[in-house]
Structure 1
Amino acid sequence: MTKPDIQKLYDVTEATWPPAARFDLGPVTLRDGAGGGKRVSAATAQDGWTPVDLDAAEARMNEMGQQPLFMIREGQDDLDATLDAKGYKVIDPVYARMCPVSNLTDLPIPRVTAFAIWEPLAIMRDIWAEGGIGAERLAVMDRACDPKTGILGRVDDKPAATAFAAIHDGVAMVHAVETRVAHRRKGMGKWVMRQAAHWAAANGADWIAILVTTGNESANALYESLGMEIVGKYHYRIKA
């Protein structure tokens, strides 16, 4: 079971949280996120780009009505420096974390604590909406590759948390983890992730991954406690 590297996780991210459309403009790939956030809207540059290519990509993003935004992947120091010189600012550095699915399937899920459900129930959509995850991001979930599922978590006999997961090339990636304010610090996060892992194992995945901003200390502490190691990182640069 070969451990996936960060380059593979970039591909898994694209498949499990896809843009509405993507196309190449020379060595730059542009994405139409349809309002689904940075992850589905950011441009990426391949080897061989030039500053002229970046200017053309910026102009096209403006034409698309999207704020110029690039994802900077590991090893793209020259791209990072060039965009910095062009006035692009760093925003939302992200860790990619991962572990074997078996790390999170060693415990059974307590009765009526977490469930894998697709399509999402109305209460799941409500919980996402409370956390700012609206129709545009739900549309991303609809576009995502199969197999996929939603996760519903319950505590104190009440709906408390939800998440989305999909599998690509043997890796289950979890997105849109959201816990209701009234039910935070009750252990919901770990059971949501463990339910996602049980579902992933049942659907043939060997690894489970998640993306989390570097500044989210509580989430990083949770995933660290579950044995999800940092595999790599990326950040965005955005034009003011």
Structure 2
Amino acid sequence: MIAAAHIDTLMNQGWPAADSTELDGWVVRRTAGVTLRANSVLPTGAPFDLGKALEYVENLYAAHDIAPSFQVGPAAQPGDLDDRLAARGYEVRNPTLVMGAEVADVLANLGEPTESVNISAVPDDSWMDFWWSVDGRGGSAAQAAARQILNRGRALYGVIPSGQPVKAIGRLALVDDWAGLYCLAVDPAHRRQGLAQAIIHGLLQAATTTRWVWLSVLEANTAARTLYDRLGFQAVSRYHYRVKA
């Protein structure tokens, strides 16, 4: 369906860091320590001098009070990077599957939603506050940094209902003819009512120029993976993070 290197590029655009430094084939991302993706190296090419590149990354992240981290998938360069990082004391975090599907197939498998979804091009305060209450890590400064990430790329934001109290939300990043599903969250008091499926349906239906959709899901999250399998998603890549202990 798609090459691993291409999906890495799409995901990088779908969740863009506030600051990125190009380092001889690597993209060194920084966003005040908020989310691993936005504060890790995307190793898209092999540096000429790997040792010096690693030292540069570690010193840069240390200067910003961020744990040195790498997103390691099938396209990571150099090919033995995972082993080299392990030998340097980096630990594995968050083994994750990347899944993809045709939008038309997912919509057909979803059927009619149980709730109407309000769609907007920006996350309002109620959307942001709900996401942070369910999935946020940190205080107001971290929340502000997270909002920077969201606002740096084109996306659609879904919410149920359109006013308070919010029951469910989601974000669909728009990149070329692909879209990435992020920030899917449901109030624990309203789970198992089809709200997540309704959010997905509303977002995909509103993305009228999008043919394909991707999402990432922790390998250990069997409940979510079962849902995505049923909706027609298939594994297209995988990755984990290596974080210096």
Query: Where do residues 100-111 of structure 1 align in structure 2 (5 Å cutoff)?
Result: 100-106=102-108, 109-110=112-113
Specify the SS of the correspondent of 1:205. coil
Tell me what 2:46 maps to: 47
**Contact 2:24-2:46 within 8 A present in 1 as well:** no
Structure 1 CA distance, aligned partners of 2:134 and 2:222? Answer: 18
Partner Cα distance (2:29, 2:148) in 1: 15
Question: Cα distance, 1:108 vs. partner?
Answer: 6.0
Amino acid at match of 1:105: L
Q: How does 1:85-96 map to 2 (within 5 A)?
A: 85-96=87-98
Task: Give the TM-score normalised by the residue count of structure 2.
Answer: 0.87
Distance (whole Å) between structure 1 residues aligned to residue 25 and residue 125 of structure 2: 42
Q: Are 1:226 and 2:231 counterparts?
A: yes
Amino acid at match of 1:103: D
Q: Which amino acid aligns with 1:42?
A: S
Is this contact kept in 2: 1:27–1:53, CA < 8 A?
no
Q: After TM superposition, where is structure 1 displaced by more than 6 Å over at least 4 residues in a row?
A: none
Instruction: Give the count of matched residue pairs.
Output: 233
2:82 is matched with 80
- Percent identity, aligned pairs only, is 23
Whether 1:139 aligns to 2:148 is yes
After TM superposition, the structure 1 stretch with the greater mean CA deviation from structure 2, 85-94 or 64-73, is: 64-73
Q: Is the CA contact 1:19–1:34 (under 8 Å) kept in the aligned structure 2? A: no
1:128-184 superposed Cα distances (whole Å, 9 cap, x missing partner): 12113333222211111x2x2101134xx9631101112112101011111111011
Query: What's the TM-score, normalizing by structure 1?
Result: 0.88
The alignment partner of 2:167 has SS state of: strand
Give the letter for the 1:73 counterpart: G
Instruction: Output aligned runs, 1:17-56, within 5 Å.
Output: 17-45=15-43, 46-49=45-48, 50-56=50-56
1:66 to 2:58 alignment: no
Structure 2: segments with no counterpart, 5+ residues? 137-142
| Contact kept? 1:98, 1:209, Cα under 8 Å | yes
CA distance in 1, matches of 2:11, 2:121: 20
Q: Which runs of 5+ in 1 are unaligned?
A: none
Quick one: distance in 1 between partners of 2:4 and 2:196? 24
Superposition CA RMSD, Å: 2.2
Question: How far does residue 34 in structure 1 lie from its aligned partner after superposition?
Answer: 2.6
Query: Which of 126, 129, 133 is equivalent to 1:130?
Result: 133
Q: 1:44 to 1:105 in 2, by over 3 A?
A: closer
Q: Distance in 1 between matches of 2:125 and 2:169?
A: 11
Shift of 1:11: 1.1
Match of 1:211 in 2: 216
Amino acid in structure 2 at the alignment position of 1:169:
D
- The 3 A distance-change label for structure 1 pair 215 and 139 is same
Aligned residue type for 2:119: A
- Give the 3-state SS of the residue equivalent to 1:177 in structure 2: strand
